[in-house]
Amino acid sequence: PYEKVDFYAGKFKRLLKKVNSSSALSDKYTVRLFLNRLRKNIVPLVAFNHPKNIEEAIDAAKQVKSDQQDDELEQVLDDYEEKELSEIEAYMANSQEEYELETDLLPLDYNPWNEENH
């Protein structure tokens, strides 16, 4: 299972602090290490930003993930709106059919207020 970017970034920075206390690892190398454990579908999008250090890589990953979540939310809302619209259209069509059936059954000279009809 994949971790959230924030959670993974926090773990990565803690580990990096332990293993790179003397700053022997280059920024380019630490960025590559960080990217290796991200979800494969966001790696190219993060790398496209050409992060120069781990902070830029983390920020880019958060932004990409946020953009994806916005896109997913927008799709869910679009799907919901489309479903609601089709349900309303179906209800209106059924109501129209029911109305037509009811009026077809009544004689043209039917008067609901006329005592003779009751």
Containing 9, the helix (H) or strand (E) segment is: helix 5-19
Is 114 inside a domain boundary? no
Tabulate helix, strand, coil % of the chain (nearest 5). 70, 0, 30
CA distance linking residue 61 with residue 33, whole number of Å: 13
Range of the domain at 85: 5-103
Is 111 inside a domain boundary? no
pTM of the entire predicted model:
0.57
Is 49 inside a domain boundary? yes
For residue range 45-95, list pLDDT tens digits in order: 999 999 999 999 999 999 888 877 767 777 777 777 777 777 777 777 777
Instruction: State the total domains in the chain.
Output: 1
Q: Are 37 and 16 in contact (CB under 8 A)?
A: no
The 10 Å CB-count burial string (b at 16+, else e) for 47-63 is eeeebeebeebbbbbee
Is 10 inside a domain boundary? yes
Of residues 78 and 105, the one with the higher pLDDT is 78
For residue range 4-33, list pLDDT tens digits in order: 888 999 999 999 988 887 778 899 999 999
